[in-house]
């Protein structure tokens, strides 16, 4: 779990402070959009050579933590 936590970074100088993968310019939301569009883990790993399987797992872990917050803002 510690490894997953350390993969998600928040840096005001990278992507305007949005959560990113290992301080790269690849946001958690970009990863979630790829997964939501139907891309498989293998397809993502093939298309984005700088991404590891653990990065994908970390994004899912992070999203699950956000989904469990007590305050939720409606999207529409």
Q: What is the domain range of residue 36? A: 2-66
Judge whether 47 lies within some domain.
Answer: yes
Q: What is the DSSP letter of 38?
A: T
Q: How many domains does the chain have?
A: 1
Q: Is residue 75 part of a domain?
A: no
Question: Does residue 17 lie in a domain region?
Answer: yes
* CATH, residue 46: 1.10.10.10
Q: Specify if 76 maps to a domain.
A: no
Query: Does the pLDDT of residue 3 top 90, yes or no?
Result: no
Q: For residue 34, which of 17, 21, 15 has the smallest C-alpha distance?
A: 21
| Residue 71 belongs to some domain of the structure | no
**What's the confidence (pLDDT) of residue 69?**
80
Say which residue the tokens 């959560």 belong to. Answer: 19
Judge whether 21 and 51 are in contact, CB under 8 Å. yes
* Average model confidence (pLDDT) across the chain: 92
Task: Record the pTM.
Answer: 0.86
* 31 falls within a domain: yes
Report yes or no: 31 and 52 within 8 Å, Cβ to Cβ: no
């Amino acid at each position: 779990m510690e490894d997953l936590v350390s993969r998600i970074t928040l840096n005001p100088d990278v992507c305007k402070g949005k959560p990113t993968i290992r301080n790269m310019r690849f946001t958690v939301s970009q990863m979630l959009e790829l997964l939501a569009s139907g891309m498989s883990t293998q397809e993502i790993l093939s298309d984005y050579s700088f991404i590891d399987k653990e990065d994908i797992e970390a994004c899912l872990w992070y999203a699950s933590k956000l989904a469990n917050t007590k305050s939720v803002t409606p999207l529409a």
